[in-house]
Amino acid sequence: MKKEEQLELYYQMVLIRRSEEKAAELYQQGKIGGFLHLYIGQEAVSTGLIAARQPQDRVITAYRDHGVALNCGIPANEVMAELLGKATGTSKGKGGSMHMADPARNMWGGHAIVGGHLPIASGMALGDQYAGNDNVTICMFGDGATNIGFFHEALNLSKVWKLPVLWVCENNQYGMGTSVERASAVSEIRQKAEGYQIPNERVDGMDVMKVYEASQKAIEWVRAGNGPYLLEFITYRFMGHSMGDPERYRDKQEVERWKEGDPIGIFRKQLTAKKVAAKTLDEIEERAMTDALNAVEFAEASPEPELSELFADIYAEEVHK
Ligand SMILES: Cc1ncc(C[n+]2csc(CCOP(=O)(O)OP(=O)(O)O)c2C)c(N)n1
Ligand SMILES: [Mg+2]
């Protein structure tokens, strides 16, 4: 990857971090309603993964979706406005934190039902296979989702029908307050793909370049018509499951240990070793901060959705007319 592209990835990772830090503040001020699940600590996964996709490749994920939305090219202003429930948000302020979406950018959401979007991913891949194009569907989900029936149905059909889908498990060690060891019969999530004879790989998810390389190989393998592939990225969320999590299930030392391997810090060291000046990286960090602050300003100044919008964009529209 060219140096400029690497610097762009650095920018994206810092933008996610700064935007979410601001979002946490806004949540505490009562300006964001509902749940807020932060991606802080996991930035390398979606940043490296989505950098490896082509624009025609579809991305679908769970509710921890702010970083994914930014990586897919949804402007920070629209992500922040969505968090505040404003009409200028990427889902017109009617989706909120868990439902960031923009089909024009091939970002198919933001889904709140654990595992519920996996069969949707198989369906999208089936649609592309039927249409005869070479799009790849990239479906991201947590370790917890792999204990749900949807996961097994979706993986099974994807193999039976040789669907062009890349399954991406973000193993951040916990599903809410339950560790992988306590919830999953196998500790290596990738082993679950073996049951469906889906080729798979376990990769360090704190190193954006390793994520990128593994993702690029896997995406092109799927695009070549070989059927599904599963990647398991080992990562960690630095914050609670959602805002207000008392975190009684893990000790502070464990969190501190993982923070020593901060994906932004790791990437900064790698770039510095490649002779990128500290000043260049500092400027990128400042730009990300400015963009996050501008996004907050834009979101706060934006209008609420009109009442007339209440029944627009829902299946039951006709019934309510
Ligand atoms: C079907 C369903 N069951 C339970 C929940 C409640 N719930 C929300 S998040 C979550 C944990 C999921 O963990 P994981 O898939 O590892 O994702 P992470 O939060 O770690 O990103 C649960 C059980 C839900 N949203 N949907
Ligand atoms: Mg998890």
Which tens digit of pLDDT belongs to each residue from 233-290? 999 999 999 999 999 999 999 999 999 999 999 999 999 999 999 999 999 999 999 9
In-domain check, residue 64: yes
> Which ligand has the minimum distance to the alpha carbon of residue 63?
1
Cα 307 to Cα 305: distance, rounded to the nearest angstrom = 7
Q: Give 267 Cα–ligand 2 centroid separation in angstroms.
A: 23
The pLDDT of residue 314 is 81
310 belongs to a structural domain: no
How far is residue 66's CA from residue 43's CA, in Å, rounded to a whole number? 10
Residue 185: per-residue pLDDT: 97
Q: Residue 223 falls within a domain, yes or no?
A: yes
Return the residue whose CA atom lies nearest to atom 3 of ligand 1: 114
Q: With bands split at pLDDT 50, 70 and 90, how would you rate the model's confidence at 311? A: confident
pLDDT of residue 96: 97
Q: What pLDDT, on a 0 to 100 scale, did the predictor assign at position 318? A: 57
In a domain, 132, yes or no: yes
Q: Answer yes or no: is 131 within a domain.
A: yes
Which range among 163-167, 194-198, 201-205, 309-313 shows the weakest confidence by mean pLDDT?
A: 309-313
Give the model's confidence band at 98: pLDDT under 50 very low, under 70 low, under 90 confident, else very high: very high
Q: Who has greater pLDDT, 88 or 187?
A: 88
Q: Convert the pLDDT of each residue in 123-172 to its tens digit.
A: 999 999 999 999 999 999 999 999 999 999 999 999 999 999 999 999 99
241 Cα nearest atom in ligand 1:
19
pLDDT for 239 = 98
Nearest of 287, 315, 215 to residue 10 by alpha carbon: 287
Q: The sheet that has 200-204: what strands, in order across it?
A: 58-60, 137-142, 165-171, 229-234, 200-204
Closest residue (by CA) to atom 8 of ligand 1? 114
Listed residue (289, 176, 271, 163) closest to 226, CA to CA: 163
pLDDT at 86 over 60: yes
Average of per-residue pLDDT across 92-113: 97
In a domain, 308, yes or no: no
Residues with CB under 6 A from ligand 1: 64, 112-114, 142-145, 172, 174-176, 241
Q: Which of 40, 114, 167 to mutate to test the pocket of ligand 1 (most atoms within 8 A of CB)?
A: 114
Confidence of residue 313 (pLDDT cuts 50, 70, 90): confident
22-67 confidence digits (pLDDT tens)? 999 999 999 999 999 999 999 999 999 999 999 999 999 999 999 9
Q: Can you read off the two tokens belonging to residue 8?
A: 């762009």
Fill in the DSSP letter of residue 239. Answer: S
What is the CATH classification number for the domain harbouring 266?
3.40.50.970
Residue 21 lies in a domain: yes
Number of domains the chain contains: 1
What pLDDT is attached to residue 38?
98
* 200: phi then psi, degrees, rounded to nearest 5: -155, 165
User: Is the pLDDT score of 114 beyond 80?
Assistant: yes
149 alpha carbon – ligand 1 mean position (Å): 13
Distance 123 CA to ligand 2 centre (A): 24
Task: Report the separation in Å between the CA atom of 163 and the middle of ligand 2, taken as the mean of its atom positions.
Answer: 25
179 Cα–ligand 2 center, Å: 8
Task: Confirm whether 215 is domain-assigned.
Answer: yes
Q: Stretch 175-202: mean pLDDT, rounded?
A: 97
Choose which residue among 38, 151, 176 to substitute to test ligand 1 binding: the one with the highest number of ligand atoms within 8 A of its C-beta. Answer: 176
Q: Range of 224's domain? A: 3-303
**Residue 146 CA to ligand 2 centre (angstroms):** 10
**Residue 133's pLDDT is what?**
98
What three-state secondary structure class fits 260? coil
Q: What is the pLDDT of residue 315?
A: 74
- CB neighbour list of residue 318: distance below 8 Å, 6 or more residues apart: none
- DSSP letter, residue 139: E
